[in-house]
């Protein structure tokens, strides 16, 4: 059987079943040595306590979710987002995370100008980048599927994310989430581009179900959908990234209703059967 060194569990996958402490305990029981928590989970546990859990269990934190959400209708809203992102950097540092994942935000309220939103994202990332560099916390822009362009992320392709990285410079990279990028005809080219620049910071896995019944909360377990997970992983490894594959599943009507231990056991089984090269 394959080692679990290459597996991380994004704790959104069991957010409805477990507290942060319970999720950590469940992962450790199964031999999983890497996790990625969300900020609300960390806040509920307490940042100091969460960091202590990570250290006590010798866990790798493959990312903290999430920073971002930069566009806003006025300067005060944009400034508040920058302040919140600096707090997120502090939290990621306290946890010893590999990166802070940025879900950049969609259109500003009342706006239909997606180009303006993208400029707000570039400006917002630029405004926190020196702080992130000073604290040695890499920022991982996560492009989201175009269906989220209006409300969650106006950066929708690897190419767009990497263009922002190239404009702003060091300390930035991308989180490659297969759910969001599997369809992209430029995916192979852009993964190679990201790898050549050392900008692949995270790799998230799940599956795209047919049909998808909910645009946000109906992700599939690896192997239950149409994504060629091994092909994408092969691209990523050829590009030079060999970090863990992080299972991130939002599933209100299926996986969030199952016992957490069952979900984690299934993640392990499907990682071995569907994701390992």
**218 found inside a domain:** no
67 has pLDDT over 60: yes
Q: What is the CATH number of the domain that holds 74?
A: 3.20.20.150
Beta strand 172-177 with 200-205 is parallel
For residues 39-46, average pLDDT: 98
Tens digit of pLDDT for each residue in 189-230?
Answer: 999 999 999 999 999 999 999 999 999 999 999 999 999 999
Residue 110, judged by CB atoms within 10 A of its CB (0-12, 13-18, 19+), counts as exposed
**219 found inside a domain:** no
Q: What are phi and psi of 99, to 5 degrees?
A: -165, 165
Distance in angstroms (rounded) separating the CA atoms of residues 193 and 65 = 24
The range of the structural domain enclosing residue 125 comes to 34-204+227-246
pLDDT of residue 2: 67
1 has pLDDT over 70: no
Burial profile 32-42: b = 16 or more Cβ within 10 angstroms, e = fewer: bbbbbbbbebb
SS3 string, the chain, reads CCCCCCEEEEHHHHCCCCCHHHHHHHHHHCCCCEEECEHHHHHHHCHHHHHHHHHHCCCEECCEEEEECCCCCCHHHHHHHHHHHHHHHHHHHHHCCCCEEEECECCCCCCCCHHHHHHHHHHHHHHHHHHHHHCCCCEEECCCCHHHCCCCECCCCHHHHHHHHHHHCCCEEEEEEHHHHCCCCCHHHHHHHHHHCCCEEEEEECECCCCCCCCCCECECCCCCCCCHHHHHHHHHHCCCCCCEEECCCECCCHHHCCHHHHHHHHHHHHHHHHCC
Mean pLDDT of the chain: 98
pLDDT of residue 186: 98
**106 found inside a domain:** yes
Confidence of residue 235 (pLDDT cuts 50, 70, 90): very high
Higher pLDDT, 2 or 104: 104
pLDDT of residue 276: 97
pLDDT of residue 190: 99
| The two three-digit tokens of residue 152, written as one number | 């969650």
Q: Considering its fold, how many domains does the chain have in total?
A: 1
Neighbouring C-alpha atoms within 13 Å toward the C-beta of 139: 34
Determine contact, residues 47/93, Cβ cutoff 8 Å.
no
**120 found inside a domain:** yes
**10 found inside a domain:** no
**266 found inside a domain:** no
Determine contact, residues 263/11, Cβ cutoff 8 Å.
no
The verdict on pTM exceeding 0.95 is: yes
Tens digit of pLDDT for each residue in 123-166?
Answer: 999 999 999 999 999 999 999 999 999 999 999 999 999 999 99
**64 found inside a domain:** yes
**165 found inside a domain:** yes
Q: Is 110 left (phi over 0), alpha (psi -120 to 50) or beta?
A: left
């Amino acid at each position: 059987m394959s080692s679990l060194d290459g597996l991380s569990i994004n704790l959104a996958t069991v957010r409805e079943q477990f507290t942060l402490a319970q999720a950590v305990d469940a992962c450790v029981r199964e031999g999983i040595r890497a996790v990625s928590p969300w900020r609300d989970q960390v806040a509920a546990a307490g940042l100091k306590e969460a960091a202590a859990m990570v250290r006590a269990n010798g866990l790798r934190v493959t990312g903290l979710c999430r920073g971002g959400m930069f566009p806003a209708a006025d300067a005060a809203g944009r400034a508040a987002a920058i302040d919140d992102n600096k707090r997120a950097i502090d939290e990621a540092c306290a946890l010893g995370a590999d990166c802070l994942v940025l879900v950049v935000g969609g259109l500003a309220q009342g706006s239909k100008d997606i180009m303006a939103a993208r400029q707000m994202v570039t400006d917002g990332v630029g405004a926190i980048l020196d702080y992130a560099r000073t604290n040695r916390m890499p920022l991982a822009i996560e492009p989201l599927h175009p269906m989220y362009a209006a409300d969650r992320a106006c950066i929708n392709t690897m190419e767009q994310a990497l263009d922002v990285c190239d404009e702003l410079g060091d300390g930035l990279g991308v989180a490659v989430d297969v759910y969001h990028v599997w369809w992209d005809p430029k995916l192979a080219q852009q993964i190679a581009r990201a790898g050549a620049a050392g900008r692949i910071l995270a790799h998230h896995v799940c599956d795209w179900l047919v049909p998808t019944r909910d645009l946000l909360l109906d992700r599939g377990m690896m192997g239950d959908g149409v994504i060629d997970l091994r092909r994408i992983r092969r691209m990523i490894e050829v590009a030079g990234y060999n970090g863990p594959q992080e299972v991130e599943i939002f599933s209100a009507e299926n996986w969030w209703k199952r016992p957490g231990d069952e979900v984690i056991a299934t993640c392990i089984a499907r990682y071995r059967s569907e994701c390992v090269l």
